[in-house]
Amino acid sequence: MPNPLRSEGEAFRFLLGAVVYFAAIAIAGVINEWAGLVVFVLLTIAVAVWWWQARAREPRHVEMVAVPHGPDDERRILVVANETVGGTQLLERITELASDANSRVLVVSPALNSPLRHLASDEDAARDAAQDRLDRSLAALATNGVTARGQVGDGDPLQAIEDALRTFGADEIVISTHPEGRSNWLERGVVENARERFAVPIHHVVVDLDREPSS
């Protein structure tokens, strides 16, 4: 929700809006109780619609994040994946990218959570589930000969990437998602937003878990 009290100017405009809103309700209410109720309902709907449209018109804030790079002789690969973190396509791609002897791999598994649980700071189960997937992924990578470090990240994949970049100077980022139509991340434009926000090459790997060989 936009905060109307972020600056004195916004607070002042909010006050003017409140004066008009309550004055209209009070005048109508004094004339007739039902007229007051009607004005209240109509104005409230009008304010809600205006607020909703104003939010939609607001330009999306994209902040380019500077990405620190590691030593020149190192190739640092940051992998961000959640449910698809153990997918065969992703493991193959990481193995391919990390074939260089000086490669370093960091796998981040965002702790996806429901909005309600997120608001209630109830993240233990989400983090446990993400850690479990991460452990299996790291074990699978080790089987393929890739030794990688892993960490559970923020539920917002872009935030998880940004947090990881603060301690890991990535040369490239791999984002793994479900196929189009089943991927919540693709619907939210996570890959496009990451390309706008982070100044490093970003690889998108689609993992179709339905076509994965059952283990």
Chain residues that interact with other proteins, rule: CB under 8 A: 3, 5-9, 11-12, 14-15, 18-19, 22, 25-26, 29-30, 36, 68, 70-71, 76-77, 98-101, 103-106, 145-149, 154, 156, 159, 162-163, 166-169
Q: How far is the CB of 30 from other proteins (least distance, A)?
A: 7
Of the pair 148, 207, the CB lying nearest other proteins is at 148
Choose between 70 and 179: whose C-beta lies nearer to other proteins.
70
Closest to other proteins by CB, 98 or 178: 98
Alpha carbons 14 and 20: distance in angstroms, whole number:
10
In whole angstroms, what is the distance from residue 159 CA to residue 80 CA?
Answer: 11
DSSP state at residue 210: G
Supply the minimum distance, in Å, between the C-beta of residue 43 and other proteins: 12
145 with 97: CB under 8 angstroms?
A: no
CB of 208 to other proteins, least distance (A): 26
Residue 28 Cβ vs other proteins, minimum distance, rounded to whole Å: 10
Sign of the dihedral through C-alpha 88, 139, 174, 64: positive
Question: Is the Cβ of residue 182 or residue 197 nearer to other proteins in the bound state?
Answer: 197
State the DSSP code for 60: P
Q: What is the CA radius of gyration of the chain?
A: 24
Strands in the chain per DSSP E: 75-80, 103-110, 149-153, 172-177, 202-206
Between 15 and 46, name the residue whose CB sits nearer to other proteins. 15
Considering the complex, what minimum distance in angstroms separates the CB of residue 194 from other proteins? 15
**What CA–CA distance (Å, rounded) separates 109 from 127?**
9
